[in-house]
Amino acid sequence: MYDNIENIDRRGNSYFAKNVHAAGKAVAQEVLDPDERVVVFDRNFKAEGYTGARSVVYEIVKDASQTDGFRLEILRVYESGENANLSTEVMAAVVGDIRRVVPAPHYGLAFGSHGKGWLQRAYSGNVSRSGNTDGDMSQAPFADLWSERENSLTRYFQGYGEKLDVSEFRDALDDWAWDFILLDDCFMASAEALYEMRSLTDYFIASPTEIMAAGFPYDMVVSILFQEWENNLENSVVDVADAFVEAYRSGTMESGYPHATVAVVKTSELDALAESVKRLNLRLNEVTGVGGIQYYERFTTPGHVFFDLDDYISRIRASVTPTEYNEFKAQLDRTVVFKDHTEYFFSAAQLNNGTVKVEHYSGLNVFIPWSQTARLVNWYQQTEWYKYVYGGN
């Protein structure tokens, strides 16, 4: 066991430890059923009694003898260097280990890392922490969008160069059923990304923008799930999403920045959403400019990448009739069962810190293929969303 998480080294960033501590507060305060358990996989656990950083699986256990009312019960310590780098195989193996050690009738997952929507990992090797790029940019078409740096105000804490594409994330988790998946990662309320991962779970909780580095309020997340999950899953995930935005709106989150956006997506409706967009017969070169369309980051090169799905569709008047738009909008409302946002969101993307006012909000971001982002299209065409919605055109 380990009962002093304050001394855990988090590579200079304590947000993960604070998330664990917040979850521990909820465990300490709740009356738990035997199946209500919080288990954590920590890839960078470093504490007294361990040589260097290790990958560790531990459970947060209620313990009135401890100052904070809980302790960390270590379930497995991996060998030094084992599982140090996140991959499909590593993630699948760890989830398998957890499910064998902690059997339960239902599982939910909260995944905290750096998020990038549908964007692929292939380009990231050419990027330094300062955001500078080396080599031929044609070989790294997203490199200038990927400028991870230490002490970022948004969710970059998991470590440079250790990311999964959405298809890899899906493959790692697809052998198991998940009641919900909370993506505590930037940009993951993405039409393309969630469509790619729709087989994994009943509900996704995610944000279409960057998430402040403090992440979700896990004391409230755990408390809500323990109290409501068994009775009504949709209500419980909606209440988790609502608590997230309210925590930032009220200024109670430690980040000091009252900015948050969120959506709860019902995955059984994602196929119908893709079909409703497909019927609009979108074309790659249809959009000649994106001025006025709600964007969800402050990228300046090559241009905005994430836009509001509804604002995009509603503005393509030349090809979308009112009837077609209304049918799409009705399906979007069935897919996004809850959405909320603060007046502004914060973006640290591309070393361009600042806030953006939310003028139009549907809860989902989407890529718009247009002239300024044309060099991303070859990569975009690899997504399942593109293949279905655009039909290869």
Q: What average pLDDT does this structure show over 67-72?
A: 92
> How far is 167 from 108, CA to CA, in rounded Å?
19
Task: Find the largest Cα–Cα distance for the chain.
Answer: 67
pLDDT digits (tens, 9 = 90+) for 16-52: 888 999 999 999 998 778 888 999 998 877 766 666 6
> What is the pLDDT confidence band of residue 276, given thresholds at 50, 70 and 90?
very high
On whether the CB atoms of residues 337 and 265 are closer than 8 A, the answer is: yes
Tell me the backbone φ, ψ of residue 278, rounded to 5 degrees: -55, -40
CB count within 10 Å of CB 370 equals: 19
Residues 6+ apart with CB under 8 A from 270: 194, 195, 198, 335
What's residue 96's pLDDT?
95
> How far is 334 from 311, CA to CA, in rounded Å?
17
Residue (of 283, 296, 272, 278) closest to 357 by Cα position? 296
Q: What average pLDDT does this structure show over 369-376?
A: 83
Q: What average pLDDT does this structure show over 343-351?
A: 86
Q: Is the pLDDT of residue 261 over 60?
A: yes
What's residue 371's pLDDT?
81
Q: What angle do CA 255, 350, 345 make, to 5 degrees?
A: 40
Residue 379: exposure state from Cβ atoms within 10 A (0-12, 13-18, ≥19): middle
CB count within 10 Å of CB 195 equals: 24
Kindly state the helix (H) or strand (E) to which residue 77 belongs, with its residue range.
strand 70-77
Residue (of 337, 184, 185) closest to 270 by Cα position? 337
Q: Which pTM value belongs to this model?
A: 0.91
Q: Taking each helix axis as running N to C, give the angle between helix 88-101 and helix 166-173, from 0 to 180 degrees, rounded to the nearest 10.
A: 30
Written as one string, the DSSP assignment of 281-296 is ---TT-BS--TTS-BS
pLDDT digits (tens, 9 = 90+) for 229-254: 988 999 999 999 999 999 999 988 87
